[in-house]
Structure 1
Amino acid sequence: MTSDAQPLEREDGTAWFGVPVKPLQPLDPAQAEEELKTLGRFAEEKGCERLAAMLAAAGPLRSFLGAAADLSPYLRDSMQIMPASLEALFDHPFRERLDALNGEIEAAAIAEGATEASVMKALRRLKREAHYLIALGSLGGESDAETTVRRLSSLADACVRAAVKFLLLDANRQGKLRLPDPTVPEPGSGWIVLAMGKLGARELNYSSDIDLIVLIDPTAPAVPEPYEAVETFVRLTRRLIRILQDRTEDGYVFRTDLRLRPDPGSTPLAIPVNAALHYYESRGQNWERAAMIKARAVAGDIAAGEAFLRELQPYVWRKYLDYAAIADVHSIKRQIHAHKGHGEVAVLGHNVKLGRGGIREIEFFVQTQQLIAGGRFPELRERETVANLHRLGSRGWITPEAEKDLVSSYWFLREVENAVQMVADEQKHTLPADGEGLRRIAFMLRFPDEEAFAEAFRSTLRTVEKHYAALFEAAPQLSRKLGNLVFTGDVDDPGTLETLTNLGFQRPSDICRVIRGWHFGRYKATQSAEARERLTELTPALLEAFGQTQRADEALMRFDEFLAGLPAGIQLFSLLQSNPGLLQLLVMIMGAAPRLAGIITRRPHVFDGLLDPGLLAELPSREYLSERLDTFLSGATALEEVLDRLRIFAAEQKFLIGIRLLAGSIDGQRAGRAFSDLADLTIRSALAAVQREFERNHGGVAGGRVAILGMGKWGSRELTAGSDIDLILLYDHDPAAEQSDGPKPLHPSQYYGRLTQRLIAAVSAPTAEGVLYELDLRLRPSGNKGPVATHIEAFRKYQHTEAWTWEHMALTRARAVAGDADLCEKVEREVRDILAVNRPERKIKDDAREMRQLIETEKPPHNAWDLKLVPGGLMDLEFIAQVGTLLGRVVGERMTGTYDILAHLSPDFADPQTVAELTEAHRLYTEIEQVARLCLTGPVDPENIPPGLADTLLRRLDLPNLEVLEAYLEDMSEKVRAHFERLLG
């Protein structure tokens, strides 16, 4: 090679990647140039001369690095922190460098004089270098999605093995173990680490956590005292988790999850092999069989781990299907059909992993087919998803078209998922909810714009959905015919009673009576012959669907109440007949959500909103709600008409936001924002209507204006489906004004007091259309003893001179939501000024702890599911956020949302690990709380939770059963309470 050719080769990336780098388009070319200049300065400071020279001259590789830095803050920061890793690529090309890094990771563990601290530091530094180089290879076109996930998996393998080797050697040095050969510490050690999920299948995504199961062989040669083995290895496992996932100044290695182990709520972190085998053979569930398909011995005593998996094969791969496995297959089939018939999929905010047409649908199908046929066809026992798709195709289980489409769809969706996570190294699976964020992902995947990406993404989801449903239709028929369904005459048909019993109904005679009532035309909805004919045709599908809800009788009785209130039925019955997805959604409501079922029963018109084919594709954004509210209110002038329309609109939109939440189109946080936006818009409209009417009688006050300060969950935009509204009404006027100028003049204080009373009545008084919102004004100055409306100056004075700590804590969530724009701005300034006052840290923390203790004493939680009041629950998180705000320990502009505040706590108040755990807890609690409040009319009773609700929660949280969820909640609440005690102690 000539010397003239060398710079060109370097410029196009060949010297680094082995192939010319593919162009990447930045979001902001000017910003990309700035990032390159900054990186060049870092390169010069660190003595990276060749990198600095390359960055100083134009070329494809330089342009690529600038675009990558602009598109991904994580990659930008990584390149700036460690430019030497880029410099090293001039001497050791990309693949060679990645292999070397994996070697260095393992070498760090067995280095002379290695300590836990040194191993943690080395693993974090080397993992980050490998991690961001893998991303650059992906973005630059050097590697495809398959190569990327294998590299990420190899990196995780190396890190886990390194940590395990260090801990084994350390235990050997301390005399806790006697390793047969310390130069090769793992064989015979008795410590088995199994990789599960994506790591087990070598399909790790970019910012994935790793699922592990840790087992013990107490009879291994290295174990000196078998009866001490559990204690020894549990201690080592805790250290393993700490080494891998604790956040330090160098970051973290991998978040580690051990919840897939047998019975995680009551078993130690490391389980003896015999106990695990006994569990799986006696109590193991079908989801655990599916999970074990991907299990792989990854570290520790590999030979012992592989022996365990061989011994487990009869449990995982059964020669004959049992009824429970068939039921599980049907459960998955029901999930498929629940997706059908709701029109286009939203791209913005779509969950690439769990959403419609997503990665999980492909994985579910493959694993289901493996459970069905893997016992008879050993070649279907591969861990990898794509390898199994090829095997299914070669065996004729799926068509060549399905095999080809699903393989390409799988890798495309994995590329999208990786790009989403590469932006900020966050374990998220949802596409951005804004246009700029989507453009960023489009550019990372080398699409010309977000529209082209959105079209390719939708096309892929449609392809997956089509094959996903068709695959089940093509699979061996597992269900029997329903049998007799005769509802004529007055006497129960014995065959029909048997069919209903087999379908899952406990009181078949009562069900017969109810259905005879439908066919006899006893309800308005079934009075026409055509409606009864449609319902007769629909009945078998209805019964089968309700039979699968586990509490079939209750669900069908709720549906009967719904029918009784319908003014007509033919349109609904025809729609349900042609739209299985809508039928499944209705059944889900009746079986999983008593509260929503009650709303439909009392107010059937809200069901009309489900007929919109774009419902699940459109996010309930503020703009979306505002546009529809304006249309709904147009033409209404009289106060009563406006208020009735507001009640109808709010009831329907609360219901539809809830449906999106229940169907998985939005998560709990987005639901909270949507419920709050709806309250903003409807309360604002109610205030305007009340003011107009009030001014007809009493005129206006000179310079008069009002502002509503949203408090509590309304202020923090965390409302749930059943939340009431906390508010303070503030007013201002000319100091010289003595009374209003209308036919019935009033003194200003009296004027605004009565106006507020009118607003309270307008919003919360029950009418034929129900209640708009229950209002709570107890957070105003002086509480219930004070006037209902407060002058802005009185509010300011009270807050500065008389308010207690708890009132200032409440004010951290305050948000001006309605009224005069200038006064709202003034109120926001006042609140900022009040919160900015320098406060004694000890007093604030002591007051907060004292108040939390008082609440705990006077209002204890109902049970462990009372996520607001339970120690370590939402209230603890809110108190931490509020105290952090009052002490000025929040970075950035003022925020009112608890999650946002927790995410921006300053490092001198909460370290990154603490922030990560607090925000994770808030996200988890919010998800459960939103779904529970939506579905139930009272507190969650773990002994009596509707099975449909339990299934919904578990599916949303991607957890296998309630026991695992309860163990997760217990662990999370303990962490939060520990942080609460430390941060406020």
Structure 2
Amino acid sequence: MTASFPFSDSIANTLTIYDSEAVQRIRADLGVVYTSLPKSAQELLDGVASCSPYLRRLMLRRKDALPKLFAEPLSRAVENATTLARSAAQQDDADIQMRVLRNAKDSAALSIALGDIAGAMSVMEAAEALSVFADAVVEGALASAVKRSPLESETGIAVLAMGKHGACELNYSSDIDLIVLFDPERMQITDRLEAQKHAVAVTRDLVNLLQMQTGDGYVFRTDLRLRPDPGFTAPAVSVRAAETYYEAYGQNWERMAYIKARPCAGDKEMGHAFLATLRPFVWRKYLDYAAIEDVHAVKRQMHSAKGGGEIAFEGHDIKLGRGGIREIEFYAQTQQLILGGKDEGLRQRQTLKALAALKTAEHISDDAWAILSSAYQHLRHVEHRLQMINDEQTHRLPVTEGDIQRVASFSGADSVGDFRRNLLKAFDSVAQNYDTLFEMSEAEESQPGPLVFTGVEGHPATLDTLSGMGFNRPQDVSAAIRRWHTGAMRATRTERARVLLTKLVPPLLTALAKANEPDEAFFAFEKFLSGLPSGVQVFSLLLNNIEVFDTLIRIMTISPYLGREFSKQLNLVESLLDQNWSAPLRDVNEYAKECDEIIAKAVSYEASLNAARRWAGEQKFPVTSRLAIGLIAHAEASAHYTAIANAAISALANAAAVEMEKMHGRINGDFVVIALGRLGSGEMTATSDVDLMFVYDAPSDAMSDGERSLGAVEYYTRLVRRVVTALSAATEEGALYEVDMQLRPSGKAGPAAVGLPAFRRYYEEDAWIWEVMALVKSRVIGPRNGLAIAIEDEIESILTRKRRRQEVAQAVMEMRERLATAKPGSGPWDIKNISGGLIDIAFLCQHLSLVTAFSLGRAPRPVGKAINWFAQAGELAQEETAMLQKAHALFEAVLQAGRAATGEVFSPEKAGEALCARMASVCGEESIDDAASVLIELQSKVARLFVAKLSQGCGR
């Protein structure tokens, strides 16, 4: 960039006039300012105004600054703009801060554009100037945001520039890609959630300052989507969480993104330290030829999505299209990923420097370097002109003759023909070099290094490879794989399975190496293999769909329960292919109809049982897998589990009824299924059993009309047994649900099917308080008939009877003591049974429900809603409500996540690090010990409140 003499002295104007009327208008509008400028500056402004409506408007807005701009070195104008941007935080008012930033943007945009067009700076110097200005803007906006926050300084908050911003290669109308990180310790905030709250607030304010459209325009469109797991993380991510994510789930495209990353604002020392921790993630020690195949697949997808697979001219995308800028960047970055682990000289952020380093290291030819470097600068030149026309983030060439003429004139081409020929030549040369690279790479062996699993001892080179991949127990991993090859498990007993396994091991190990704990992930996969009856089907599936590996390993590492389910139901592995992890789950209202249709298609009753089991497993899998890895909340999961159970139970009850009619005919009567417990309240988990009660209504002398006629009692008793068997029997597809009927009248001693008169009589005369408590969550599943309405009315009547608080409280406390004796909680993670856990909260709500329903009506079934109900009724104080809601939400989240991960009570002692990290994150903590402390504190508060409320009810 010229720095020692006036800008006007360096103008080499090559523009031709496109719009002569625009030239006349700019001369008239600028008036004496125009005539006071040097001849070279006047010619430059004529050409710019002719081609760019945006720059014409900018020149008019800043016409008073034009004489000074051309009288001084261009570098001074850029420096003044950056200084102004950094000064925004000196203002107290947000509107004034925005105005300062936007004025700085106008100044920088005009001076850099004119310098670029005039030839006072090269296209890449202009890109660097734009990037330096972007740094200043982010610094100014961050300082302004921090100033309005409770934070004392920017310490502990680092902003990383990514993409072209990070490489100092911004295009003229580019958005900027940022990642905002925070460190509670450096912020000197002990509460991680509080630190996150402040960091997120500052980030949102930062983005608002930059991209809000005001009367003065905007500064930069800001994109935060390159942060870890952007669909499910806050705008600001803790350093610890980011490191954990990249260690466990980082993808090749994210490695590529971090080639260009650099700290641009805030706590830069922290930013540099973070990037240092990611060096092993970005720069692998071994030659990662899987990376180049991954990039090639991404590029093919991009062509498909953007329509850029063929070289064109009119409407061609010079960035993403064939032979475009992105192919040059991929050409360099792919080889950087492959070779940069061993050659630090290749670790260059800027594309031209990366190409030069590759040439110096003799990884590309002098011709390839010259062709690609020249094409890159030419395409970036045209890209800037396209965007300068209307300040639009566009990369597409125009399609109309007039618009093509404008761009050709603006680009300094002698003619449209020359402009077309030069661009097509650049596209062709880039595409040829790009294709040659991938043809070469695809001939390479796609594995990380020597992998030999023969003999009785581990191969030294293989052990080195495994260690380099991150395995801490390479000897054990090698020994296990050698056992697989010997056919030591059912899945590898056939020669075909072992041949497939040999091909499968390299991509498998590559996928395992991405896990947070590769050894743990490996042995989780081995456990999965050991449960397979045969390996050929699964090995073939995985070989043809390598992309499934990462998801499969991630799920099995966090969820041993799903690992066991994969082994039992191979169709679940196949279902991974159909998963769109970013898409929402299906509508819960769709389950019932689909289940009915599937069972209706079954060729026999036995086939319908298998169909229901297979269907339910396939429906629960996307829910459980998303819940296990934290993609959905526990409340959403429980709603789906309940809807799936509703659908399966209703469909199989109907199927059982049809089967009864085939064998014994029809009977004059109605029959309903009542759900209790978690099924009744809609709070089921991945492994919940179903609490059911069956009631029928038929004349005492009713007889079925079949050849093997039965009376009502025997008919409905057999029907209930058939329904229970349909749900709980282990067929070739396994069991569907474990059915618990102990909450029916008289419990185990009572009849399986209860007649309506007996049902009424029992709850009027014989029911214990705890049995009435069970009705608080009750719900009629179906079928919808007259009996269903009568039962709902009867339950309403039972629950809303007037009761003495003392009597109810005493019964509830006795029941809780009996449960505590029979099944005491095993620790803070036994969130259901532990004192102060979910049972205490549920019992407290059931107690309040029974003593207030006479005056308030029936309380909601779900516990969370019931707590709010009683708070509004004045039964719970504000602080009691807040504590109960917090405890209930956290306990439910722990229960749901624990069941999805283990199928039982979560135990840190039995869990690996990945699962412990997941459960800690459910509690909002970074360590499992801190999470346990949070649970213990809340359980203590709940236990004290439970005792206080029940003792108060007992009059103690």
TM-score where L is the length of structure 2: 0.54
- Cα separation, 2, equivalents of 1:885 and 1:328: 58
CA distance in 1, matches of 2:801, 2:683: 26
Distance 1:801 1:508, change over 3 A: same
Which amino acid in 2 is paired with 1:644? N
Among 582, 594, 609, the alignment partner of 1:643 is: 609
Deviation at 1:513, TM superposition (A): 0.6
Task: Using the TM superposition, give the Cα deviation of residue 811 of structure 1 relative to its aligned residue in structure 2, in angstroms.
Answer: 0.6
Q: Does 1:974 align with 2:943?
A: no
CA distance in 1, matches of 2:833, 2:939: 11
Q: In 2 relative to 1, CA 666–546 (structure 1 residues): closer, same or farther, beyond 3 Å?
A: closer
2:867 aligned partner: 902
Would you say the 8 A contact 2:490–2:530 is kept in 1? no
Aligned with 1:849 (options 805, 813, 816): 813
Matched, 1:203 2:202: yes
Partner of 1:799: 763
Could you give the per-residue CA deviations for residues 48-91 of structure 1, whole angstroms, max 9, x where no partner exists?
Answer: xxxxxxxxxxxxxxxxxxxxxxxxxxxxxxxxxxxxxxxxxxxx
Question: Residue 782 of structure 2: SS of its match in structure 1?
Answer: strand
- Which has the higher mean CA deviation after the structures are superposed, 528-537 or 840-849? 528-537
Deviation at 1:683, TM superposition (A): 0.8
Q: Distance in 1 between matches of 2:277 and 2:139?
A: 36
1:177-576 → structure 2 map (5 Å cutoff): 196-199=195-198, 203=202, 482-488=448-454, 492-502=458-468, 503-506=470-473, 507-514=476-483, 516-517=485-486, 523=492, 527=496, 531=500, 534-535=503-504, 538-545=507-514, 548-561=517-530, 565-569=534-538, 571-576=540-545
Unaligned runs of 5+ in 2: 1-91, 97-137, 153-187, 206-237, 245-266, 285-293, 302-379, 382-446
Q: CA deviation at 1:635?
A: 2.0
1: CA distance between counterparts of 2:535 and 2:501? 14
Confirm or deny: 8 A CA contact 1:867 1:925 kept in the other structure: yes
Where does residue 686 of structure 1 map in the other structure?
652
| 1:202 Cα deviation from its structure 2 partner | 5.2
Structure 1 match to 2:782: 818
2: distance between equivalents of 1:529 and 1:806? 58
Q: Which residue number in structure 1 is paired with residue 713 of structure 2? A: 749
Helix, strand or coil for the counterpart of 1:906? helix
Deviation of the 1:560 alpha carbon:
2.8
Of 824, 832, 837, the residue aligned with 1:868 is 832
Residue 963 of structure 1 pairs with residue 943 of structure 2: no
**Deviation at residue 884 of structure 1 after TM alignment:** 1.9
TM-aligned CA deviation for residue 629 of structure 1: 2.1
2:695 is paired with a residue whose SS is strand
Contact 1:684–1:817 (Cα < 8 Å) also in 2: yes
Cα 1:626–1:490 change in 2 (3 A) is same
**CA separation in 1, counterparts of 2:520 and 2:586?**
31
Q: Paired residue for 1:710?
A: 675
| Identity between Structure 1 and Structure 2 (%) | 26
* TM-score normalised per structure 1: 0.52
Query: Are 2:885 and 1:919 aligned?
Result: yes
Aligned CA distance change for structure 1 residues 865 and 905 (closer, same or farther; 3 Å): same
* 8 Å Cα contact 2:542-2:549 kept in structure 1: no
Q: 1:795 to 1:538 in 2, by over 3 A?
A: same
Give the direction of change, closer, same or farther, for the CA distance of 1:288–1:672 in structure 2 (3 Å limit): closer
Pair 1:734-2:699 in alignment = yes
| Residue from 601, 607, 610 that aligns with 2:567 | 601
Q: Alpha-carbon deviation of 1:663?
A: 3.5
Q: Aligned partners of 2:528 and 2:610: how far apart in 1?
A: 27
Contact kept in structure 2, 1:647 and 1:769, CA below 8 Å: yes
Compared CA separation, residues 731 and 630, structure 1 to 2 (3 A): closer
Which of 827, 845, 850 matches 2:791?
A: 827
Q: Distance in 1 between matches of 2:912 and 2:864?
A: 29
Question: Is 2:665 the partner of 1:666?
Answer: no
Number of residue pairs aligned between Structure 1 and Structure 2: 577
Q: Per the alignment, do residues 764 and 832 of structure 1 end up closer, same or farther by CA in structure 2, a change over 3 Å counting? A: same
Judge conservation of contact 2:457–2:479 (CA < 8 Å) in 1. no
Task: Indicate how the Cα distance of structure 1 residues 285 and 862 shifts in structure 2: closer, same or farther if over 3 A, else same.
Answer: farther
Query: Could you tell me how far apart the structure 2 residues matched to 1:482 and 1:696 are?
Result: 63
Is residue 289–residue 315 contact of structure 1 (8 Å, CA) maintained in 2? Answer: no
Output the CA distance in 2 between the equivalents of 1:663 and 1:929: 14
Give, as a single letter, the amino acid of the residue that structure 1 aligns with 2:471: G
**Secondary structure of 1:887 counterpart:** helix
SS in structure 1 at match of 2:601: coil
Counterpart residue type for residue 834 of structure 1: I
- Say which one has the larger Rg: 2
| Contact 2:566-2:573 at 8 Å conserved across structures | yes
Contact persistence 1:492–1:509 (CA under 8 A): yes
CA contact (8 A) 2:670 2:697 kept: yes
Q: Deviations over 1:432-488 (max 9, x none)?
A: xxxxxxxxxxxxxxxxxxxxxxxxxxxxxxxxxxxxxxxxxxxxxxxxx95432235
AA paired with 1:864? P
Offset at residue 512 of structure 1 (A): 3.6
Aligned residue number for residue 181 of structure 2? none
Gaps of 5+ in 1: 1-94, 100-144, 160-190, 207-283, 291-312, 331-336, 344-398, 401-480
Query: Separation in 2 of the partners of 1:287 and 1:777?
Result: 45
* Aligned equivalents of 2:930, 2:697: Cα separation in 1: 54
Contact kept, 8 Å, 1:525 with 1:569, in 2: the verdict is no
Alignment check: 8 A CA contact 2:149 2:202 kept: no
Superposed displacement of residue 676, structure 1:
1.2
Matched residues in 1 for 2:891 and 2:619: separation?
Answer: 23
Two-structure CA RMSD over aligned residues (Å)? 4.6
- 1:56-71 mapped onto 2 (5 Å cutoff): none
**Partner residue of 2:690 out of 725, 731, 739:** 725
Map of 2:550 onto structure 1: 584
Work out whether 1:952 is the aligned partner of 2:918. yes
Mapped contact 1:620–1:657 kept (Cα < 8 A): no
Return the offset for 1:205: 7.6
Counterpart Cα distance in 1 of 2:839 and 2:488 = 52
Distance 2:640 2:696 in 1: 27
Q: Aligned-pair distance for 1:319?
A: 6.6
CA deviations 1:204-256 (Å, max 9, x no partner) are 889xxxxxxxxxxxxxxxxxxxxxxxxxxxxxxxxxxxxxxxxxxxxxxxxxx
Tell me the alpha carbon deviations over residues 250-293 of structure 1, each in whole angstroms, 9 at most, x when there is no partner.
xxxxxxxxxxxxxxxxxxxxxxxxxxxxxxxxxx9956999xxx
Change (3 A) 1:924 1:549: farther
Whole-angstrom distance in 1 between the partners of 2:242 and 2:903: 33
The answer to whether the Cα contact below 8 Å between 1:730 and 1:789 also exists between their aligned partners in 2 is yes
**1:700–1:567 distance in 2 versus 1, CA, 3 Å:** farther
Tell me how far 1:951 sits from its aligned partner: 2.3
Q: Is contact 2:491-2:535 (8 Å) kept?
A: no
- Counterpart-to-counterpart distance in 2, 1:633 and 1:555: 35
